[in-house]
Amino acid sequence: GQNIDQPTEMTATEGAIVQINCTYQTSGFNGLFWYQQHAGEAPTFLSYNVLDGLEEKGRFSSFLSRSKGYSYLLLKELQMKDSASYLCAVRKDYKLSFGAGTTVTVRA
Amino acid sequence: GAVVSQHPSWVICKSGTSVKIECRSLDFQATTMFWYRQFPKQSLMLMATSNEGSKATYEQGVEKDKFLINHASLTLSTLTVTSAHPEDSSFYICSAREGTNDYEQYFGPGTRLTVT
């Protein structure tokens, strides 16, 4: 089975840093995705981790520890437009299993 | 590149009727398409996987006779919700995979279905 956990909600102020954690217990692992989803819209790709370590891409970074079944998404220099839901998804072969998502609210 | 469209964006139908949702890959050929369902404040749940020209593979608990999937070409897959009921009201999202070695899925904008 697939068990993917993320916090439900997080709030931060504009310009701050927020870290969204994701823990997983899955039958099989080929990689981990992070997606951003605005309400009523499709998820958009943010990052993909296969190996342990940190992947940095502009204001967003993602970290993976396969031995701990743990990942985090780091959002720096928060902007109002970053208010959205952030989904952690584990890939096994060609299938994705999603967490319930973390709603991030950025306040001025 | 890698754009996926869905039609319609939203649909309201009466209980007992059937609704067809289209998913198209606009600028690439999709070897595999996926259909997800998302209830409010919940995660995307994979319903089925379809490969062009073959029958869809449904996830456990998804009724294949209720959710008919047709992947007639490399750029089009359709999901038909048959005899829809209010509990089928949800956000339906498709995604597409370009190549057999491509792990990334490109998501469509979703279809909001409301059954009254």
pLDDT at B99: 74
pLDDT at A28: 86
Tell me which chain B residues have a C-beta less than 8 angstroms from the C-beta of A48: 103-104
Measure A27 CA to nearest chain B CA, in Å: 15
pLDDT at A40: 83
pLDDT at B100: 63
- Is B107 near chain A, with CB under 8 Å? yes
φ and ψ at A65, to 5 degrees?
-130, 105
User: Contact A41/B110, CB-based, under 8 Å?
Assistant: yes
Q: How confident is the model at residue B101 (pLDDT cuts 50, 70, 90)?
A: low
What residues have CB less than 8 Å from A64, skipping those under 6 apart? A32, A49, A50, A51, A52, A53, A55, A70, A71
| Beta-carbon count within 10 A of B56 CB | 21
In this structure, are residues B64 and B58 in contact, taking their beta carbons and an 8 Å threshold? yes
Q: Which of B10, B43, B102 is the mutation pick for testing A, counting most A CBs within 10 A?
A: B43
Could you tell me how many CB contacts below 8 A there are between chain A and chain B? 47
Quote the mean pLDDT of chain A.
Answer: 94
Question: pLDDT tens digits, residue range A78-95?
Answer: 999 999 999 999 999 888
pLDDT higher than 70, residue B26: yes
DSSP string across B45-97: EEEEEEETTS--EEPTT--TTTEEEEEEETTEEEEEE-S--GGG-EEEEEEEE
φ and ψ at A39, to 5 degrees?
-55, 130
pLDDT higher than 70, residue B22: yes
